[in-house]
Amino acid sequence: MSIYGKYENTLETVMNDLVGVISSYNNQRYESKGHHIYEHLNYRIKSDESMREKCDRKSLPQTEQSALCEIKDAIGLRIVTRFVDDIFDLVYFIESLEGITVINEKDYVRNPKDNGYRSYHMIVGVNVPFEDAKGDNPGTFYAEIQLRTIAMDSWAALEHEMTYKRDISSRELISSELKRCADELASCDITMQTIRDLIREG
């Protein structure tokens, strides 16, 4: 039996609705301005195994309530943009959506982590017209939305690879090279945005 119990299908519905609203915004932007606001949008329900492991890590019982109310990233969306300012445009759009409450935001774009990680994280509550795992009706389901540029995304994938690889002899050297690379990419992201503005100004 899945840790999400009878809410497994509901999670898919809530996620697909959220994805639908954000991708409609992308299409509207293309129609009105001729440019997409993001390059791609990935989404997933955290696997049963990962959610059980996360419950253990957080010393929570492996229950529907832990998975759907205490831990708030059962639904995960990652939006990857070409430019840094598109991240903040999307954050503003998501914050203004009806039926969505922002629970927590972490701006690792303006305040990068010490290892160089950059990304904007939002935890949102999605109001639904039916019961949630706490028994509230109307209920709330939660989603984590990560927003980052293509450069930040490619960096995070590489750093993630290093973090999860056990036997690396030169971890310290790689970490410091990764940090240097993150800073260079951040600088290129800003330059790319400036070049884009110059092109679009004509």
Q: Following DSSP, what letter does each residue of 48-91 receive, concatenated?
A: HHHHHHHHHHTT--SSHHIIIIIS--SEEEEEEESSHHHHHHHH
CB of 95 to ligand 0O2, least distance (A): 17
Q: Applying CB under 6 A, does 73 fall inside the site for ligand 0O2?
A: yes
Residues 11-40 that bind ligand 0O2 (CB under 6 A): none
- Name the one residue in this structure whose structure tokens are 């990764």: 178
Strands 75-81 and 139-149: parallel
Alpha helices in the chain (DSSP H): 8-33, 48-57, 64-65, 84-95, 150-164, 171-201
Mark the segment that binds ligand 0O2 (CB under 6 A) among 34-42, 62-70, 95-103, 152-160.
Answer: 152-160
CB of 106 to ligand 0O2, least distance (A): 5
Selected binder of ligand 0O2 within 36, 52, 82, 121 (CB under 6 A): 121
* AA letter at 46: K
| Selection from 52, 90, 93 nearest residue 71 by Cα | 52
CB of 43 to ligand 0O2, least distance (A): 12
Q: Applying CB under 6 A, does 115 fall inside the site for ligand 0O2?
A: yes
Mark the segment that binds ligand 0O2 (CB under 6 A) among 9-17, 27-35, 114-122, 188-196.
Answer: 114-122
Selected binder of ligand 0O2 within 43, 88, 93, 117 (CB under 6 A): 117
CB of 152 to ligand 0O2, least distance (A): 10
